[in-house]
């Protein structure tokens, strides 16, 4: 059976942030993930995890002004110190909260900055993050985003992300495999997953093309979930989708079709 985690940035939004933890537990989840928990009351988050016996299995390094469209700082030569301060803070928080993996969004292409300089900066920053996290037993994931919805993002596919990881050459850098983003960019998600499974530290899922719950779009999630379950992958699968029409209804639809078993 898959280890499923609820993404509390996208699910249970009818509740305030801290109440989402209890809602996730009431829905049957034993684990959650979050984009940026440090933007909220960390003491309250820690208390909620303890109260509801939940694991926080993934969250992101700071990614700049997310609301304004920034999607990471790792490629920006002028913000190296900001990125590394964020890494130090985030790794310490991961250790405090018992989070086994952190995710890095590397950033959008910067106009006026040579691409080779941006790539060198990414590599140096990823090595720094991987080193810092390894000292605390935390994995660092690198996530590609589809450039249809995130134009200019530096990594559009799983293979592009792995090429960067290989160039960085650090054994604490892993792929975050987001089925939705990979489908939008490249398709062939199950064959790609099977090929790359040994290098994946976290999976996220949503259906395509609307990014709603699995079972609502073009992807055969029974086939995809079976492929994950039959593989050697033993990490978490984060439900990072836009619930339609709401979280309770979306989860019920998944239960009725056999895609959600908690």
Q: How many Cβ atoms are within 10 Å of 245's Cβ, its own excluded?
A: 9
The pLDDT of residue 131 is above 90: yes
Q: Which of 36-40, 81-85, 115-119 bottoms out in mean pLDDT, i.e. has the lowest?
A: 36-40
Half-sphere exposure of 76 (CA within 13 A, CB side): 20
Average pLDDT over residues 91-112: 98
- Beta-bridge mates of residue 175: 142, 200
Please compute the mean of the pLDDT values over residues 155-172 and round it to a whole number.
98
Q: For this structure, is 95 an active site residue?
A: no
Separation of alpha carbons 185 and 205, rounded Å? 14
The predicted structure's pLDDT at residue 88: 98
The residue annotated as part of the active site, out of 51, 81, 240, 256, is: 240
Q: Which element (helix H / strand E) includes 181?
A: helix 179-185
Mean pLDDT of the chain: 98
Q: Is the pLDDT of residue 147 over 90?
A: yes
pLDDT tens-digit series, residues 241-254:
999 999 999 999 99
Q: Using N-to-C axis directions, what is the helix angle for 42-51 and 80-97, rounded to 10°? A: 30
How many residues are listed for the chain in this entry? 262
9 touches 32 (CB < 8 A): no
Q: What is the pLDDT of residue 91?
A: 98
230 catalytically annotated: no
CB 90 within 8 A of CB 133: no
pLDDT of residue 97 exceeding 90: yes
pLDDT at 90: 98
**Taking the domain 3-256, which CATH number applies?**
3.20.20.150
Mean pLDDT score, 91-110? 98
Dump pLDDT digits (tens) for 15-40: 999 999 999 999 999 999 999 999 99
Rounded Cα distance, 178 and 183, in Å: 9
Give pLDDT tens digits for 165-205: 999 999 999 999 999 999 999 999 999 999 999 999 999 99
Q: Are 40 and 15 in contact (CB under 8 A)?
A: no
Q: What is the pLDDT at residue 13?
A: 96
| pLDDT beyond 90 at 1 | no
* Per-residue pLDDT at 5: 98
Average pLDDT over residues 75-81: 98
Among candidate residues 39, 46, 70, 143, the one labeled active-site is 143
What is the C-alpha separation between 47 and 96, in angstroms, rounded? Answer: 12
Provide the β-strand partners of residue 237. Answer: 4, 203
Residue 32 · residue 55 · CB < 8 Å: yes
For residues 146 and 9, give the distance between their C-alpha atoms in angstroms, rounded to a whole number: 19
């Amino acid at each position: 059976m898959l280890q499923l985690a609820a993404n509390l940035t996208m699910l249970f939004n009818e509740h305030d942030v801290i109440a989402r933890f209890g809602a996730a537990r009431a829905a049957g989840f034993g684990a959650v993930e979050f984009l940026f928990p440090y933007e909220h009351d960390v003491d309250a988050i820690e208390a909620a995890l303890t109260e509801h016996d939940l694991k926080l299995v993934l969250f992101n390094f700071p990614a700049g002004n997310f609301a304004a469209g920034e999607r990471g700082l790792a490629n920006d030569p002028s913000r190296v110190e900001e990125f590394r301060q964020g890494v130090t803070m985030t790794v310490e928080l991961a250790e405090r909260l018992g989070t086994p993996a952190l995710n890095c969004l590397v950033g959008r292409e910067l106009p006026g900055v040579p691409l080779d300089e941006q790539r060198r900066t990414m590599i140096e920053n990823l090595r720094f993050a991987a080193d810092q996290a390894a000292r605390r037993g935390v994995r660092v994931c690198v996530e590609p985003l589809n450039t249809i919805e995130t134009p200019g993002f530096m990594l559009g596919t799983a293979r592009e992300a792995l090429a960067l990881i290989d160039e960085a050459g650090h054994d604490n850098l892993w792929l975050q495999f987001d089925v939705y983003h990979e489908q939008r960019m490249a398709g062939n998600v199950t064959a790609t997953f099977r090929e790359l499974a040994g290098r994946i530290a976290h999976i996220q899922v949503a259906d395509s093309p609307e990014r709603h719950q699995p079972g609502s779009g073009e992807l055969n999630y029974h086939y995809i979930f079976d492929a994950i379950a039959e593989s050697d992958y033993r990490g978490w699968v984060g439900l990072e989708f836009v619930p339609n029409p709401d979280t309770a209804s979306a989860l019920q639809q998944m239960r009725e079709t056999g895609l959600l078993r908690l």
